[in-house]
């Protein structure tokens, strides 16, 4: 509708990460239980805009999506000298914890997708008592590589085009064209080498095989949801991961791929609604 | 389309032969490939085609082998893979060229630069038969 203003508000917060101040952009909407949303590799928080605009969810949740440094409207830190960007498990974990701490959130829920789903598992392993619940979308302790990331950042291949073209196959064929295009647009806009640098965490540094069995879902409930068309983090990858974790909830989402919240928001809503309902129920009981 | 396992190599070969005409009716895809000139080998594993692309158009498509003809890269997939890829909608795991290579149903060989630099073009080019393919052998 012409003139409609969405309820989402965007602001910047200065966050000390690893001893250096970072200017972090975040968007939020709603009130209640803090729900922090983590975007996929090489993208930004816009992926969550439909969730943030959901009147039903924002009645009970303060939904917050921030752009990781180097992504979206969160610039690299002032000290960056142009050297190769590489996200590590330790750096990613510290960034999320610092953001939550700086905004003084009381036991937030964290929901991450793809690399965000992987780091959610690491939060569950090492920092479960800081969170009310953890939700991993397209999450697994490890997944087999299916292309050489060297193609993502080289002068003779257009970075935006190759990043978008590679991930385009991870979107379910049933997803609406406009949502598919919007999802890929973020990949076309990413900074040079940023997607590749995020995948350093995914492919090299963040292998959690053998560690996820330490997750105690009695301390912090864990929900894993994976789209049936995701051939990067396959449903089998997620099921294998969950099999090692007592009490983890697993859902395979039909007609969805690697970007459920942005590639087909209506279809994703059918799956995330009962999860948020369960978290709300558990929160009101305690 | 009936079961993909019923589809014959001949049906896949026939569908490939129709791709240049389908491309001619897809001006946006031709525009996407406007800077692409390439010789490549595409098709079923045992019956691929030499494909010559100029400014995004297929100007020649000839069944291999052709004596001493060169190609930059090759993308070949099993008969079942092509039949599944051209279902509407395709099943999970058969819906993308790199999903097919990951599951071992397709092979990508040679100098990959033209393929990767024009990846979306080749994905869309090789999906063109999707809505016309009825290649059951039965």
Q: What domains sit in chain A, N to C, each tagged with a CATH number?
A: 9-285 (3.40.50.1820)
Instruction: Search chain A and give the residue with CA nearest B118.
Output: A162
Q: Any chain A CB within 8 A of the CB of B113?
A: yes
> Would you state the pLDDT for residue B59?
98
Of the options 3.30.1050.10, 3.30.2350.10, 3.40.50.720, 2.60.40.10, the CATH number for the domain spanning B4-128: 3.30.1050.10
Nearest to B92 among A147, A165, A229 (CB): A229
Contacts of B98 in chain A (CB under 8 A): 146-147, 166, 169, 231
Q: Do A231 and B99 touch (CB under 8 A)?
A: yes
Q: Do A231 and B92 touch (CB under 8 A)?
A: yes
Instruction: Search chain B and give the residue with CA nearest A144.
Output: B102
> Would you state the pLDDT for residue B137?
40
Q: Do B123 and A174 touch (CB under 8 A)?
A: no
Contacts of B120 in chain A (CB under 8 A): 161, 164-165, 168
Substitution target from B36, B100, B120, B125 for chain A, most A beta carbons within 10 A: B120
Edge-to-edge strand ranges of the sheet holding B73-77: B57-63, B49-54, B37-44, B73-77, B106-110
CB pairs below 8 Å between A and B: how many?
Answer: 52
Contacts of B112 in chain A (CB under 8 A): 151
Helix (H) or strand (E) holding B96: none
Residues B59, B62, B64, B70, CA torsion sign:
negative
**Min distance B119 CA to chain A CA atoms (Å):** 6
- Quick one: how far is CA B115 from the chain centroid? 12
**Min distance A227 CA to chain B CA atoms (Å):** 10
> Would you state the pLDDT for residue B17?
96
> Would you state the pLDDT for residue B136?
45
Q: Any chain A CB within 8 A of the CB of B116?
A: yes
pLDDT tens track, chain A, 286 positions? 999 999 999 999 999 999 999 999 999 999 999 999 999 999 999 999 999 999 999 999 999 999 999 999 999 999 999 999 999 999 999 999 999 999 999 999 999 999 999 999 999 999 999 999 999 999 999 999 999 999 999 999 999 999 999 999 999 999 999 999 999 999 999 999 999 999 999 999 989 999 999 999 999 999 999 999 999 999 999 999 999 999 999 999 999 999 999 999 999 999 999 999 999 999 988 6
Instruction: Search chain A and give the residue with CA nearest B117.
Output: A157
> Would you state the pLDDT for residue B132?
82
> Would you state the pLDDT for residue A188?
98
Q: Do A168 and B90 touch (CB under 8 A)?
A: no
Contacts of A172 in chain B (CB under 8 A): 95
User: What are the extents of the domains in chain B?
Assistant: 4-128
Residue for token pair 């709300």: A280
Q: Do B97 and A164 touch (CB under 8 A)?
A: no
Give every residue of chain B whose pLDDT is below 70, as ranges.
1-2, 135-138
Q: Any chain A CB within 8 A of the CB of B96?
A: yes
> Would you state the pLDDT for residue B75?
98
**Min distance B18 CA to chain A CA atoms (Å):** 23
Q: Do A228 and B92 touch (CB under 8 A)?
A: yes
């Amino acid at each position: 509708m012409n003139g409609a203003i969405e309820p989402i508000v965007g602001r910047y917060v200065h966050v000390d990460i690893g001893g250096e101040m970072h200017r972090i952009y975040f968007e939020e909407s709603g009130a209640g239980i803090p729900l922090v949303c983590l975007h996929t590799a090489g993208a930004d928080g816009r992926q969550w805009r439909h969730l943030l605009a959901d009147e039903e969810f924002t009645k009970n949740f303060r939904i917050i999506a921030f752009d990781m440094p180097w992504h979206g409207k969160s610039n690299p830190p002032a000290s960056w000298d142009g050297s190769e960007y590489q996200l590590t498990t330790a750096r990613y974990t510290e960034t999320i914890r610092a953001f939550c701490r700086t905004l003084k959130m009381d036991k937030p829920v964290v929901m991450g997708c793809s690399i965000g789903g992987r780091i959610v598992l690491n939060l569950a392993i090492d920092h479960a008592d800081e969170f009310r619940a953890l939700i991993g979308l397209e999450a697994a302790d490890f997944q087999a590589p299916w292309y050489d990331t060297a193609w993502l950042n080289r002068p003779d291949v257009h970075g935006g085009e190759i990043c978008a073209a590679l991930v385009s196959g991870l979107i379910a064929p049933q997803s609406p064209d406009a949502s598919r295009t919007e999802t890929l647009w973020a990949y076309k806009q990413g900074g040079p080498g940023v997607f590749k640098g995020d995948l350093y965490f995914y492919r090299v540094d963040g292998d959690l095989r053998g560690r996820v069995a330490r997750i105690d879902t009695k301390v912090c409930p864990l929900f894993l949801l994976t789209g049936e068309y995701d051939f990067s983090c396959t449903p089998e990858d997620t099921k294998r991961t969950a099999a090692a974790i007592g009490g983890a909830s697993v859902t395979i989402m039909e007609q969805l791929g690697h970007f459920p919240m942005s590639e087909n928001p209506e279809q994703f809503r059918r799956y995330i609604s009962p999860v948020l309902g369960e978290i709300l129920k558990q929160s009101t009981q305690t | 389309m009936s079961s993909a396992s019923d589809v014959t190599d001949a049906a896949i070969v026939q569908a490939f032969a129709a791709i240049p005409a389908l491309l001619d009716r897809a001006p946006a895809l031709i525009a996407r490939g406007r800077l692409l000139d390439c010789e490549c080998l595409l098709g079923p594993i045992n019956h691929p085609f030499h494909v010559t692309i100029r400014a995004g158009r297929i100007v020649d498509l000839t069944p291999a082998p052709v004596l001493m003809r060169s190609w930059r890269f090759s993308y070949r997939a099993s008969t079942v893979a092509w039949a599944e890829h051209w279902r509407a909608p395709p099943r999970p795991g058969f819906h993308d060229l790199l999903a097919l290579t990951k599951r071992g149903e397709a092979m990508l060989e040679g100098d990959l630069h033209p393929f990767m630099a024009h990846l979306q073009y080749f994905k869309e080019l090789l999906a063109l038969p999707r809505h016309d393919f009825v290649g059951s052998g039965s």
